[in-house]
Structure 1
Amino acid sequence: MPAPIHPETAVLDLIRRVWEQGHERVDRTGVGTRALFGAMLRFDLSDGTVPLMTTKRVFWKSAVKELIWFLNGETSIRPLVEQGVHIWTDWPLDRYRRETGEAIDRDAFEARILGDPAFAARWGDLGPVYGKQWRRWQGPDGREHDQIRALVEGLKTNPASRRHIFTGWNVAELAEMALPPCHMTYQYFVEPGADGGGRLSSILYQRSCDLGLGFPFNIFEAALLQRMLAQQCGLEAGELVWMGADVHLYLNHAHLVETLLERAPRPLPRLDLRPAADIFSYRLEDVSITGYDPHPHVAAPVAV
């Protein structure tokens, strides 16, 4: 019997295909990409493993903090910077430089974000990005809708529903966002169990995917969120299906691509999750990753 194919092999195959066959285009950032349209990957979460890439080290604790930031409905970089997470700083920093003409570096900008609440309110807010839409989607009547709370309630009370969906793509507020949602729409499916339990599977539709830098965070966070939801609803984790629309690699990431494709995947780590009072109460210390032995990190620039 042939050995099972490592789940990360499909990711590397997609990276190779995009790099070798992708259409070269000048993108919004001016850096340029190679891109293909339409891809699908599947990950089985039922054995307790998590799709945390092993061909380069992923700073998974930063990813956990980002997901919790989303779930808290945050839109300011200040709570992330307070925890040493810099992944959202480049966008407000770029805006500050453009609008003021001040050639400030990231460290100095973040120091002002931390030290001056008024400065943080003016320059550290990202607009109505993910957290706002997930937790406080504003309807035409002014009422706010908590999509995550409604999702949990729906999974518990009506598991067979085909409406277990939340999205960040609020057309009315896209222009106000520092970055419109890339990991855009999530849908969940409950497979009933013989003993009254069940398995929770999900689909993540991603309109735009930076395979080199964004995808490793996106897929890990989607798996972690799925595990959180399953735990809160008394379900087991099933399959995570990822659907990418514009799937791309930046032209200045050649060294990253070449390095990844030279490396062999290692065993995926295990994710253990300590129970929390509700979906909004998880903290970093509730998330345990064991058996993670990745290849070294590969640095690459972020295109803003």
Structure 2
Amino acid sequence: MSRGDVVLKDNLNKLLKEGKSDKDQNVRPKWSDGTPAYTLKTFGVLNTYDLNEEFPICTLRPTAWKSGLKEDLWIYQDKSNDVDLLEEKYGVKYWRSWANKQGNLGLAYGRQMKYQHEYKEGYFNQIDRLIWDLKNNPYSRRMITNLYNHNDLHGMTLYPCAFLTMWDFDGEFLSMTLVQRSSDYLVAGNINVTQYALLQHMIAQSVGMKVGKFHHYINNLHIYDRHFEQAKEILEREPFAAPKLVIDESVKNFYDFKPEHFHLEGYEKHEQIKLEVAI
């Protein structure tokens, strides 16, 4: 059984049995017909995966893990907020509803990775600084990337959901914590897990380290009111074994990774469940 399935079932059971409803509150999200999109939520969820043991993808439904990988490359390699580029270069099209008239996300996501920040050792963007620290000061407790810049929130078309990473090396394994303010769990929950697990793999391989633990903290984990029946259906399914992630070991530079360097062997999964997305 995949660890991704164990976590998914545990969280869905908790939401359906103990989740707090915001029904009748003045909520921001709406369905396409204009109806308010209410949720069941739970606060402060910490999910733990050991990437040295398996890749944390669920099998209870398909996960578009390659799309998540392409978002990684768009944000952290290209350092782009350009939705046109995401569609044309990678074929990922579901960000269009958040784009502005110029076809980008304003000052959000990859734009934050593009900034050059001044350090004692010179100017770095956040990813280059992380890689520099892992190579030159791997036991540092200051290895952080952050997409949530309060000074730029006014210019973002979408406030980042998964926004902060913290990294730790113990002499053998490179571990990471991801902090996420909000998770539309059935729509994007496992995509977020797989894409940041892939980011951890890429960073580790580029600095010659082995991947370790992946801690994923979600402040507000929720499912929407039009997803309750789909959640119950997923809970009735029997999981398959976790697949094996295979990465081209010849790639040593973070900026050289491409989608074709990643493969999943033996990924069995149940059929997809259709979900309406609240905006």
Corresponding residue for residue 265 of structure 1: 239
Corresponding residue for residue 28 of structure 1: 28
User: What's the CA shift for 1:237?
Assistant: 0.7
Corresponding residue for residue 104 of structure 1: none
Q: Kindly, what percent of the aligned residue pairs are identical?
A: 29
Query: What is the CA–CA distance in structure 1 between the aligned matches of 2:117 and 2:236, rounded to whole Å?
Result: 47
Query: What is the CA–CA distance in structure 2 between the aligned matches of 1:297 and 1:242, rounded to whole Å?
Result: 24
Change (3 A) 1:69 1:9: same
Indicate which of 157, 173, 178 corresponds to 1:199: 173
The TM-score normalised by the length of structure 1 is 0.82
Corresponding residue for residue 222 of structure 1: 196
Query: What is the CA–CA distance in structure 1 between the aligned matches of 2:261 and 2:103, rounded to whole Å?
Result: 28
State how 1:153-172 maps to structure 2 within 5 Å.
153-172=132-151
Please provide the CA RMSD for this pair.
Answer: 1.9
Query: What is the CA–CA distance in structure 2 between the aligned matches of 1:229 and 1:86, rounded to whole Å?
Result: 26
Indicate which of 69, 73, 84 corresponds to 1:68: 73
Task: Please tell me whether residue 10 in structure 1 is matched to residue 7 in structure 2.
Answer: yes
Task: Please tell me whether residue 251 in structure 1 is matched to residue 258 in structure 2.
Answer: no
User: What's the CA shift for 1:6?
Assistant: 4.2
Give per-residue Cα distances to partners, 1:145-171, cap 9 Å, x unaligned: 510010011011111100111110100
Query: What is the CA–CA distance in structure 2 between the aligned matches of 1:80 and 1:174, rounded to whole Å?
Result: 21
Change (3 A) 1:13 1:250: same
User: What's the CA shift for 1:228?
Assistant: 0.6
Query: What is the CA–CA distance in structure 2 between the aligned matches of 1:189 and 1:228, rounded to whole Å?
Result: 15
User: What's the CA shift for 1:8?
Assistant: 2.1
Query: What is the CA–CA distance in structure 2 between the aligned matches of 1:247 and 1:257, rounded to whole Å?
Result: 14
Change (3 A) 1:5 1:222: closer
Give per-residue Cα distances to partners, 1:30-50, cap 9 Å, x unaligned: 311111110111111113x21
User: What's the CA shift for 1:207?
Assistant: 0.8
Corresponding residue for residue 111 of structure 1: none
Unpaired segments of 5 or more residues in structure 1?
A: 96-121, 193-197
Unpaired segments of 5 or more residues in structure 2?
A: 30-35
Indicate which of 58, 64, 68 corresponds to 2:63: 58
SS in 2 for 1:34: strand
Indicate which of 243, 262, 265 corresponds to 1:290: 265
Corresponding residue for residue 91 of structure 1: 98
Task: Please tell me whether residue 19 in structure 1 is matched to residue 16 in structure 2.
Answer: yes
Q: How many residues align?
A: 264
The TM-score normalised by the length of structure 2 is 0.89
Q: Which structure has the bigger radius of gyration?
A: 1
